[in-house]
A and B are shown apart, each in its own frame.
Chain A
Amino acid sequence: MTLASASDLLTYLADLVETLERYAITLLPPNDADEIALGAERDGSLVIELGGRLPTPRRSKDVDLRVFERWRAVDADEWVCVEYAYELRHRELDYRRALHRHDEDHFVRLFGVATHEHCEVPMGVLTCGHYRGVPVTDAFDAFKRLYEEWLGDEKPDCRGLPCLG
């Protein structure tokens, strides 16, 4: 579990955007502006939400990356990431990979793990609804895992992943 102050999260977000751009990701509006936002929700949670497009050859369909994290306060100016969703949608090869953490109580109670993954080839076709997920350290770790998947330029072999149901 990583604890962060609000100031840490602002720096984390700026670093993340910088990294994505170094890896030739085009950030989609509204994150393509000079100033980007760490969102504050009404219940006090802080959220990071980014959308980006991976570099593709001309006339090729888009490959989209989405990053979402929700951080909750556990103490005065001390935040912990309680939910995440990192997604890669490869429209050219027609697959979706996603690394998720949500409904933690349900997954822990049933499977003893807080995280899960999605793997759809083709996109929208569920051979298995949820795969056992290797926990993601942070958005940088998730980005590298999904980028690595994209870099291979092949449809993922979902059958190699352990299915939770």
Chain B
Amino acid sequence: MAKLYYTPKEVAEILDISDDAVLDLVNRGSLPALRASPRITRIPIAAFDLWREGFRPKRRRVSMSPARRKVIVGEGEKLPAARRMVRA
């Protein structure tokens, strides 16, 4: 199993700051992280590396234009059938 995320404690050690300072970066939305639960925060290593390199995504221009193709959501899926009532 590959290691894909750091804990706040691990990031704190890498950056040489406190755990609370890491959580503060997360809470402010500066450092990309996922909250698996209120007590578990995961910092994806790939996202952390980009952040540390100073990468900030360029804001894209978004415009409306004709859709490239017609997507049928669920195409090819066999829809589930109704289940027959079973009584003991």
Taking beta carbons and an 8 Å cutoff, which residues of A are in contact with B? 6, 10-11, 13-14, 17-18, 21-24, 30, 34-41, 46-47, 49, 55, 57, 68, 70, 83-85, 100-103, 106, 110-111, 129-130, 144, 147-148, 150-151, 153-154, 164-165
Contact = CB atoms under 8 A, between A and B. Distances in A.
Decide if the interface of chain B is mainly helix, strand, loop or mixed.
loop
A13 to B, nearest CB: 5
Interface residues of B, number: 39
Decide if the interface of chain A is mainly helix, strand, loop or mixed.
mixed
Nearest to A111: B80
A100 B83 CA distance: 21
A35 B56 CA distance: 17
Interface of B: 1-5, 32, 34, 36, 42, 44, 46-47, 49-51, 56-68, 70-71, 73-74, 77-83
Contacts of A40: 64-67
B34 A147 contact: yes
A84 B66 CA distance: 19
Given A57-B2, A110-B82, A85 B74 contact: yes
Contacts of A164: 80
Given A37-B65, A40-B67, A151-B44, A165 B81 contact: yes
